[in-house]
Structures are given as structure tokens and as C-alpha cells.
Chains A and B, each alone.
Chain A
């Protein structure tokens, strides 16, 4: 029997990226991946840059790259507010790869804390995009 469905809505300041129904969602929360299915208790969670999965329980899921934000669960409705969000097929892999190399270089070169933190964030965003696009990233 198919699992009950929940609403998933992904919005950024510039557009609504996704508006759909799905069985389950796995989101990159600040302290690790978070799984959500129907009838989840009301919740607000902070998200880091990473891959968001959604789809049927126990089967292949769709992937989306998000670059930080937060998520709200209320009445079987999951709202994800992200700075940017891209569906797997929308991702510009070459650009993400360039960003990844740039961030890696910065991490090696820069010493100031602020620069390091920024480079790390950029690195995480690039990795999230590449992973969502199906690339292997180590």
C-alpha cells in the first residue's frame, strides 16, 4: 500500500521552485539529515547547504540542491524556504565545478576567519549542486 502523501513546497525569494505531493522528504538539517513522512509533528528546522530528497518511501527519490534556509512542517504541509534551490536537471554542473575549485583554492590561500567561513559555505553549496546533479563528490 502506498504511503499517505504530504505537500511539499520549495520557495526562494525569487520563485516557487516546487509545489507537489510526495510520500517522504529527506532534508539537510543543520545537525544531520532529517526524514519526514505524513503526520509528522509540527516542526521548524534550520537547513544547511545540501541535497534535498523527495519521493516514494523505499525507492529512488528526486534530488534538489538547496543552499541553506529552513523548513516548516504543519498539517502535512512541508514548506522549505531556501536562499536558492535547483532541481537536479536545472543545475549548471560546469559552473558548480568551477565554484568548487575556486572555493578549494580560497580555503588553501586565505587565512582570515571570515574568508575561510565564506569559502567553506561556497564549497558546501557547490558540493550540494554537484551531488544533486548526480556527480560523485569526495
Chain B
């Protein structure tokens, strides 16, 4: 009896230990991918900053914004009758609450919105969840019913997503684009967020920049030359701004995913350790029991023999 349970315990310990090896490996893989995503975010910063600085200067220039629609279709503001929702989640689970939280937020937001809408899923988990909840997914022109974004996201790949979204807006099929995604805060935290992507509101830059550029404008009286014109420069800047915005947003979501997975796997590894300790304790106890039983049997037998003498 004791022997049987000892064998069971031994088997369970072995099982838990091999699971632990897997979770530990997954933790390390996630940590490496997190570092990569973070690094990508950092290398992208100089580009983003420069772009935004110049954008703000151009926007403040004379009256480029008087005829926004003519400058670039991504600036066109229409009555927001039709909306596109882009829901970003991971391809895989085992990442704690990463998928659940953002998808629940997405579902609530989409169901509340009574306008005519399209929903595009990014990530397999996003697709699975939304389809299960009866949300119809839009995938015209896509190879699958969701957009796959691998673990190593390149700018080029991200631009595929950007173009897909932007084209819908430019063709006038939707009047507003909202993305629901996780924002990366630290390796251990993220926040599910609803962000309005389109139309781009260049007025934001003006306000942001006024404070920073307040004194600079006084020193630097020299006016900027725009080649060929402020409007044309703006029309080059706007699509890039959109590209880089979506890129850093997707990278942030990736980083959040890897962080969440790393943490979930670390917890799993620690739980496994605890379980192994418990099981080892039980195993030792069982072994001790069986030895005690054996000894008492021997002693009992010996006593019986001695008594019989």
C-alpha cells in the first residue's frame, strides 16, 4: 500500500519537474523576446521624436491646416457614422491576463457602439475570442480571417497593417478608426487601452509643442524653407506619422505580451517548485511510514518469537 503510493508520488514529482522545465524555458524565451521588443521600441524613438518635432513646426506654419482634406486624406474629418475597430491580442495564451483583459474591454466597447462597424482582429486569440462571442470579423483582402503579426515585428510588416487600415479610411469606407490594445508600462505591467487612430488630429501637436517651442521661436527668427511646399511636406509627414504610430503601438503590445508571459511562466515555475517540495515531503513521509511499519513488524515478529520461547 505504502509502496504503491510511493511509486505514484515519484511519478508525480517527475511529471511536475518536467512541466517546470518547460515553464522555465518559456520564461526565458519570453524574457529574450521582451528585450528585443523593448530594444526595437528604443531604436525607433529618435525617428519618432524628430518626425513629431518637424510635424509640429509644419502644422504651425501659416495656414497649412486650413484645407486639411486637401493636404492628406488621413486628416479628413467626416461625420463618424461608420467605425473600424482593430482588436490586438496575442497569437498564443499562457500569458496571464494579457489576452482576457484586453479582449473583454474590446467586447464591451464594440457591443456598446451602435454605429455601423467593422471589426478586424490582430492575433489568433483575438479572432477566436471575438468569433466565439458572435462578433463578425471583417477580412476583405486578407489571407485569413485575422491579421497575423509574428513575434518579431518588422517595420515592413507593421506597414502592411497600416496600409490595410489607412486604405479603408482613404476609400471612405469608414469614418473613424479605433484600436484596442495593451499598452506596455513595465515588464510586469500593461494597461488595456482604447485609442482613436483616425482621423489624425494635428491640432494635438500644436498644443504639445507650444510649451516646448515657446522660447525657441523667439530666438530663432529664421523661417523654415519648405521644399517643395509646406503642404507637400505635410503630405509626406502624415502617412509616416501614421505608420510609425501603429508600429510603436504594435511593438508596445508585443512587449506587454512577452512581459505578461514571462511573469506568468515565472509564477508557474515557482508554483511547480512549491508543488515538488510538497510532494517530496509526502514522499519522504510515506517512505518513513513504510520503514516504521517494517521495523515495527520486525520488532513485533522478534518479540513474538522471543515471547514464544
Contacts and interface: CB of A to CB of B under 8 A. Distances in A.
Interface residues of A, number: 26
A18 to B, nearest CB: 13
B154 interface: yes
Contacts of B44: 13-14
B58 to A, nearest CB: 7
A12 B247 CA distance: 12
Interface string A26-50: 0001110010000001111111000
Nearest to A70: B236
A90 B243 CA distance: 24
A92 interface: no
Contact of A46 (B48, B236, B247): B236
Contacts of B43: 13-16
Contacts of A69: 236, 240
Contacts of B226: 43-45
Given A30-B232, A45-B233, A81-B47, A14 B40 contact: yes
B46 interface: yes
B290 to A, nearest CB: 64
B222 A70 contact: no
B204 interface: no
B224 A11 contact: no
A46 B227 contact: yes
A72 interface: yes
Nearest to A42: B224
B155 interface: yes
Contact of B50 (A46, A72, A114): A72
B17 interface: no
B155 A13 contact: yes
B225 interface: yes
A83 B155 CA distance: 9
Interface in A101-130: 114
Contact of B222 (A14, A29, A41): A41
Given A41-B222, A69-B236, A29 B228 contact: yes
Interface of B: 40, 43-44, 46-48, 50-51, 54, 57-58, 154-155, 159, 167, 220, 222-228, 232-233, 235-237, 240, 243-244, 247
Given A12-B47, A46-B236, 4 more contacts: A13-B244, A44-B58, A46-B235, A47-B236
Closest 10 CB pairs of A and B: A45-B227, A46-B236, A43-B225, A31-B228, A13-B155, A13-B47, A13-B44, A42-B224, A46-B233, A11-B47
